[in-house]
Amino acid sequence: MDLLEPLAPKNFDKNELFVLSILVLVWTLLYLLQKSERVLLKSEVIALLVFNAWFGTLGDRLLAEKPLDLYDTLDYPYGEFFDSVLQVGVYPVPVVIAIYFYRKHQMNKWLTIFIWALILTYLEWVSNKYFDVFHFKKWMTFYSFFFYAFAVKLNISLFNHIISRRNS
115-148 pLDDT, tens digit per residue, is: 999 999 999 999 999 999 999 999 999 999 999 9
Considering only 14-18, 37-41, 76-80, 144-148, which range has the smallest mean pLDDT?
76-80
Considering only 9-13, 38-42, 66-70, 88-92, which range has the smallest mean pLDDT?
9-13
- Banded pLDDT at 68 (limits 50, 70, 90): very high
Residue 22 has pLDDT above 70, yes or no: yes
- Banded pLDDT at 165 (limits 50, 70, 90): confident
Average the pLDDT over 99-112 and give the result. Answer: 96
Q: How far apart are CA 110 and CA 131, in angstroms?
A: 31
pLDDT score, position 82: 80
Residue 62 has pLDDT above 70, yes or no: yes
**Buried b vs exposed e over 3-41: b needs ≥16 C-beta within 10 Å?**
eeeeeebeeeeebbebbeebbeebeeebeebbeeeebbe
- Banded pLDDT at 57 (limits 50, 70, 90): very high
pLDDT score, position 13: 84
